[in-house]
Chains A and B, each alone.
Chain A
Amino acid sequence: GAVVSQHPSWVICKSGTSVKIECRSLDFQATTMFWYRQFPKQSLMLMATSNEGSKATYEQGVEKDKFLINHASLTLSTLTVTSAHPEDSSFYICSASGGTGLADTQYFGPGTRLTVL
């Protein structure tokens, strides 16, 4: 149980375009979803926290207009990178909590590798 999927697994896009990444909790209802970014050889940095039906809370330094997060249902959150640039190239990982097992335990998705040319 407690499986989180992400789609796509990897994406390559041109600079200036927008990219949407989906995060789904497959077998539980996720009241909270988290989006992380990881640059090569670095740790995970929390970008934002989203609760179903409410606006996301962004970490300091993360541009909310550039990284649009929508948590429309208890099983789906989306991250849209708008007007992507090469510096946005990174590994994006989502996690979800609120399901089975320990309360508030985060279950991580497999990640999406974004490359902006």
Chain B
Amino acid sequence: ELKVEQNPLFLSMQEGKNYTIYCNYSTTSDRLYWYRQDPGKSLESLFVLLSNGAVKQEGRLMASLDTKARLSTLHITAAVHDLSATYFCAVDPPGGSRLTFGEGTQLTVNP
């Protein structure tokens, strides 16, 4: 059974600071996704990582994938209040499109 774990689950940080959210998964995977969810809203797709060593950046967020370590990171640079949300990683097992989600990381960026 595929398990996906995120760390930390809750994160409070000041504006301007950097931080990394980690996503570990238990079996090999074809793809890894990062999503953002605002309170009361559905998921917003941030990144899709397809291969070992993949790195993608959008604004203050950068995601990377190490398939050998079964680890993905979401790095936040110079955080701003607008980044406050819950971030989920999700993993797609080989041969299927049945996503397994991590527990989510609730990020609060304080002024």
Interface residues of A (CB under 8 A from B): 32, 34, 41-46, 49, 93, 97, 102, 104-111, 113
Contacts and interface: CB of A to CB of B under 8 A. Distances in A.
Contacts of A44: 43, 88, 101
Contacts of A46: 98-100
B92 interface: yes
Contacts of B99: 34, 46, 106
B12 interface: no
A78 B43 CA distance: 19
B48 A93 contact: no
B92 A104 contact: yes
Contacts, number: 40
A113 B35 CA distance: 19
Contacts of B45: 107-108
Contacts of B48: 102, 105
Give the 9 A-B CB pairs with smallest separation, nearest first.
Answer: A104-B97, A111-B42, A108-B43, A43-B101, A110-B42, A44-B101, A43-B103, A43-B104, A108-B42
Interface of B: 35, 40-43, 45, 48, 88, 92, 97-104, 106
Given A43-B102, A110-B41, A111-B42, A97 B97 contact: yes
Contact of A111 (B35, B41, B97, B100): B41
Given A34-B98, A105-B97, A108-B42, 5 more contacts: A49-B98, A102-B48, A111-B41, A111-B42, A113-B40
Nearest to B92: A104
Contacts of A97: 97
Nearest to A108: B43
Contacts of B97: 32, 97, 104-106
Contacts of B41: 110-111
A52 B99 CA distance: 19
B55 to A, nearest CB: 17
Contacts of A111: 41-42
Contacts of A106: 97, 99
